[in-house]
């Protein structure tokens, strides 16, 4: 029993650090291929680009840990970003009030997804796919299909500002990450999330309020998406109706690359962060190497498939 225990942990450790090793290897390769990669300004740029997606990926990690998924993130990003911008530009609302309302709407969309899943017994894939469609539609209605521009400094600061050398979105990512890490590893809610993903039936019979927890993870995902919508709008100085299209792929690929199992119950936000940076560094590297944006999507798709195959393979090993 003892030796088995130890070798199991070793494999686990190897599996975890293997993602970090992939990230490092990727960085080394890019350093060799492009002399522009390993510069302070480029690395900060990578961090800035990645932070937008990584926040969504952290929210996504919660849903995936319960064995669910949230496909609506891209639409929620667009809708909440547009809403924040619209409330400020059209309705003259105070910046913080507008951001607060945008977050509220993001959370509410999470409640909708959660209720569809828990009370409507609709599979998460289908429920959030419909919320994705509705969210995108509402964004187009609200923006009339045109960008909303004309934002003031106090708003734009959240996407373009810096504290010392660090871009604000990167700082916010750090806060979100620490918060999510603490919640998942130190709180009752976090443990219940893992428990439901590990075995929902057991969790229900153990008296855990599985419905409430499942709704809550979609609220978390809605909030992180709304936050990202605000940051993205601020960074671009305007809300784009097509913001976040296809974002769900990156946001799912990051946790899965980072060892979060699509079957639920296994994974960590630390892994998600590393996974997000793999995706981010990859994008940045492909840009530096002047690979066309069309091919970049092909490559991302392939990386995603490889990550899912790794998940399936390790699941079989666990059995």
Partner 1 sequence: MDYDDFVLRMERISKQFPGVQALDDVTFRVARGEIHALVGENGAGKSTLMKILTGAIPCDSGQIILRGQEVEIDSPGRAQQLGISMIHQELALIPYLNIGQNIYLGREPRGRLPGLIAWSQLYSQAQGQLARLNMDLDPLTLVVDLPIAQQQMVEVAKALSFNADIIVMDEPTSALTERETDTLFEVMRTLKAQGVTIIFISHRLEEVFEIADRVTVLRDGRLIGVAPITEVSTDDVVRMMVGRELGEMYPKQTVARQDVVLRVQGLTRGNELRDVSLELRRGEILGVAGLVGAGRTPLARALFGIDPIERGEIWVDGQAVRINSPRTAIRLGMGFVPEDRKEQGLFLGMAVRENITIGVLDRKSILGFLRFRELDRLAEGYVQQLDIRTPSLRQRVRNLSGGNQQKVVIARWLTLHPKILILDEPTRGIDVGAKAEIHALMNRLAGEGVGIIMISSELPEILGISDRILVMRQGQIVGEFTRQEATQDAIMLCAAGGRGNAH
Shorter beta-carbon distance to partner 1: residue 18 or 202: 202
Task: Please report where in the chains the tokens 């069309």 appear, as a residue.
Answer: 294
Tell the smallest beta-carbon distance from residue 70 to partner 1 (Å).
Answer: 22
Shorter beta-carbon distance to partner 1: residue 265 or 280: 265
C-beta separation of 279 from 50 below 8 A: yes
Residues that bind partner 1 (CB under 8 A): 1-2, 4-5, 8, 186-189, 191-192, 194-195, 198-199, 201-209, 265-266, 318
DSSP H/E element including 149: strand 148-149
Distance separating the N- and C-terminal Cα atoms of the chain: 17
Reading the block at residue 92, the tokens are 């003259």
Tell the smallest beta-carbon distance from residue 66 to partner 1 (Å).
Answer: 13
Tell the smallest beta-carbon distance from residue 77 to partner 1 (Å).
Answer: 28
Tell the smallest beta-carbon distance from residue 201 to partner 1 (Å).
Answer: 5
Shorter beta-carbon distance to partner 1: residue 16 or 204: 204
- What's the CA gap between 161 and 155, in Å, rounded? 10
At residue 314, the 3 state secondary structure works out as helix
DSSP state of 38: S
Tell the smallest beta-carbon distance from residue 54 to partner 1 (Å).
Answer: 24
Phi, psi of 166 (to 5 degrees): -90, 125
Phi, psi of 293 (to 5 degrees): -60, -30
What would you report as the CA-atom Rg of the chain, rounded to the nearest whole angstrom?
20
Shorter beta-carbon distance to partner 1: residue 3 or 144: 3
Tell the smallest beta-carbon distance from residue 113 to partner 1 (Å).
Answer: 23
The gap from C-alpha 270 to its chain's centroid, in whole angstroms, comes to: 12
- What's the CA gap between 91 and 167, in Å, rounded? 28
Shorter beta-carbon distance to partner 1: residue 92 or 207: 207
CA angle, corner 97, sides to 94 and 103, nearest 5? 140
Shorter beta-carbon distance to partner 1: residue 93 or 183: 183
Shorter beta-carbon distance to partner 1: residue 268 or 284: 268
Tell the smallest beta-carbon distance from residue 16 to partner 1 (Å).
Answer: 15
Reading the block at residue 216, the tokens are 């809550």
């Amino acid at each position: 029993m003892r030796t088995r225990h130890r070798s199991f942990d070793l494999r686990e450790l190897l599996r975890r650090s293997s993602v970090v090793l992939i990230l490092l290897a990727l960085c080394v390769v890019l350093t060799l291929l492009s002399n522009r990669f390993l510069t302070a300004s480029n690395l900060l740029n990578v961090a800035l680009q990645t932070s937008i997606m990584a926040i969504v990926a952290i929210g996504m990690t919660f849903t995936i840990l319960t064995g669910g998924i949230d496909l609506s993130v891209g639409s929620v990003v667009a809708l909440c970003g547009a809403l924040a911008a619209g409330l400020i530009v059209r309705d003259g609302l105070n910046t913080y009030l507008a951001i607060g309302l945008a977050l509220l709407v993001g959370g509410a969309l999470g409640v909708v997804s959660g209720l569809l899943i828990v009370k409507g017994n609709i599979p998460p894939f289908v429920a959030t796919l419909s919320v994705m469609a509705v969210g995108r539609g509402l964004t187009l209605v609200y923006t009339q299909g045109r960008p909303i521009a004309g934002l003031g400094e106090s708003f734009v600061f959240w996407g373009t500002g810096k504290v010392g050398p660090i871009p604000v979105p990167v700082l916010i990512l750090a806060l979100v990450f620490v918060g999510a890490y603490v919640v998942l590893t130190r709180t009752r809610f976090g443990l219940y999330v893992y428990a439901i993903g590990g075995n929902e039936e057991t969790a229900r019979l153990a008296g855990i309020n599985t419905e409430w927890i499942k709704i809550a993870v979609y609220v978390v995902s809605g909030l992180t998406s709304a936050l990202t919508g605000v940051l993205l709008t601020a960074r671009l100085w305007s809300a784009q109706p097509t913001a976040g299209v296809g974002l769900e792929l990156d946001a799912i690929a990051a946790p899965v690359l980072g060892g979060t199992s699509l079957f639920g119950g296994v994974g960590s936000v630390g892994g998600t962060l590393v996974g997000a940076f793999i995706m981010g560094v990859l994008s940045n590297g492909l840009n530096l190497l002047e690979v066309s944006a069309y091919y970049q999507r092909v490559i991302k798709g392939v990386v995603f498939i490889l990550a899912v195959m790794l998940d399936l393979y390790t699941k079989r090993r666990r059995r």
